[in-house]
Amino acid sequence: MSVFERHRRFKEGRKDVQDDPRSGTDANVDRVRILVCSDRKLGVRLIAEFNMNRETVRQVIREDLGMRKFFAKMVPRILTDGQKQRQIRISSGLLCNAEMFDGVVTGNETWCF
């Protein structure tokens, strides 16, 4: 809300600085949830094309749905216990087979035009 809008509201007798509750917020959360669950590779820009503001979509994804972008997929920010155990099992298996990393060569990728 702009400064001029707040000033006008205080002149009209408003006492608090809180924004009015926005209508349709729950509907936006439901729409974004349905879109993300149908295809987790959808980006914020593509979801926003369904007649929503990009910042609204970002806020719904992060705050209301508790998700974030990870390797081009929307995933929950907090792993479940089963997911954590799976990560531990995979990491332990990789550490046991450390000799497979002997042939790996790493370096800085430099692009020359």
Please report the pLDDT score of residue 62 as a whole number.
Answer: 85
- Evaluate whether residue 6 is within a structural domain: no
Mean pLDDT for 2-15 is: 82
Given a cut of 50, whether residue 23 has pLDDT beyond it is no
- Evaluate whether residue 111 is within a structural domain: no
∠ Cα 8 13 14 (to 5°): 80
Q: How far apart are CA 18 and CA 2, in angstroms?
A: 13
Q: How far apart are CA 80 and CA 87, in angstroms?
A: 11
Residue 38 CB-half CA count within 13 A: 8
Say whether pTM exceeds 0.75: no
User: Biggest alpha carbon distance in the chain?
Assistant: 74
- Evaluate whether residue 10 is within a structural domain: no
Number of structural domains (the chain) is: 1
Choose between 104 and 61: higher pLDDT.
61
In angstroms, what CA-CA distances link 44 with 2, 12, 47, 50, 69?
A: 25, 38, 5, 10, 9
Q: What is the pLDDT of residues 36-94, one digit of tens each?
A: 888 877 888 888 888 888 888 888 888 888 887 666 566 667 778 888 899 888 888 88
- Evaluate whether residue 1 is within a structural domain: no
- Evaluate whether residue 57 is within a structural domain: yes
- Evaluate whether residue 110 is within a structural domain: no
Q: How many helices (H) and strands (E) does the chain have?
A: 5, 2
Question: What is the residue range of 52's domain?
Answer: 21-98
CB atoms within 10 A of CB 74: 21
Beta strand spans in the chain (E) = 67-70, 73-76
Choose between 45 and 2: higher pLDDT.
45
